[in-house]
Structure 1
Amino acid sequence: MSKIKLLIHEVFKQGEIDTGKNKKNSIALFLSVHLKEALNLDIDERTLVRYYDAFIVETKKEISIEPYKLDIFSKYVGYENFTEFSRTFVKKDESANKTTVKISVDKDEETLTEKLSNIIINITNEQHFKMPDFMKQNGLGIMEIALLLCLVTGNVVFSNNKKISSGTSFPLGFMSGLQPVTDKKYMYWDGERYIATDSSFIRPGLEVKAMNEYQFLHFKKITRKDTLTVSNALDVTWYSKFYGSVEFFTDDGVDPENGRELRSSTAHIIEKYAGPAAK
């Protein structure tokens, strides 16, 4: 995310706090008046709404903003100028979502980053299966796949020969005793999948909904349509067609971006809108 985009996010977030309102036009009107009175910036409501649409709603391409305006916006959110903002700002949402995970084995605790280098995955029962290409490209990450294999077929063995057997019950957590991410109360769509959160509000223009464990785990947009073929996608993917644009998903439901009901992918749809030509 660009520093200008981050700054506009922070300006409207601060405006929401100062006004107690969450509508962009109301916040923009307040900002227009306040910035002129407090910081001598003459800027109208419509310009601020354009900034909101370009950098927060992202319905249009990002637009340029004069450097002196960026300096004043930075002062409004507590920085000397835009240079200081760019150099020192840390997005609160990102830092708040970072968690240091500890693994407890016979009362010996180590941080996850220290422990991962010593983890050995021991698959005791050989399994033969073929993962579809679109799942490789759009589904589970390396660590998720590794942990899933631990859950389904084997054990996790640490370098000191302490192990957690496949009989241990931790259906959604990383290790037993840790809180599953689906215990969070809410989730929001980030454009590709649902992200879990404890907050009922993330930022203006972003819909936060109650946690739906099934959707959180299984519903994703397939970002690599060029990996889809009739053989690997028929009857196991769904699509949304909106103004001639087709997006594919890993499960049935509603397109979070336009509210349209998804349909099961047919051979015709897959051949026309997916495959190598869809790159």
Structure 2
Amino acid sequence: MELGKDELIQELIELVFVKAIKASKKTKAYGISRYLEDVLNEKITERTLTRYYDGYILDKKSERRTPSEHNLNILSQYLGHENYRKFQQNREYEIVKNELRKEIISINNKLIKIKKIGLFTCLPLIIMLVLFISKYYKKDCMIWVNDHYKKVRCSEVVNENKLEEIVLREFKKPCTCKDYIFYKNEKSIVHYTRLNNNIDFFISDSKHPIFEGVYTNSITKTIIQSEIKPCSFIKISSKE
């Protein structure tokens, strides 16, 4: 089952306004839209957001306008997705996962009824179920979650990688500050990547977990001096 374009946009806008209502504590369309306009750095105007609210939340057909690709990307980023395409891919993955869960539940329900016939009659079906589950739940891939890799079932989602036990175990994102130990036996144990003026630090050497074609480099004293913040600054920021 796949969501149509209109259904997907409907869901996107509903999720955006649900998040905005929770964060802003506003209840009126104008207040919520003004809040979103500020949060989105005025990339979408309050008037346009109010029209989305009226058209998709209040279901006023006369106010419903399909958002532009630019606005769809901005709204998707507000929900934590890279763009609208990534939002669509993630939703399709969730739908497939839910459909698989329903299928397994359906098979389990059928097995409960079949048990009345007898163990030997059910045995072939039990074997099929075991093979089915082992096929779909064998975790031969890994995906980056916040600051580390997590072992998952291969399903061709975005940023999915083939399982590498050493990378899974050792490649992580450290919380660094000036006092952090960057070298051991005069060899760097922290690596970094730089892309579009953004710098990320990792323990162990490998490719960037999100961006294709980006690989880590050993940290240098110049990077430590220019990019690593003092530990006191991090402590103050965490208290705030």
TM range (shorter): 0.3 to 0.5
Give the TM-score normalised by structure 2.
0.43
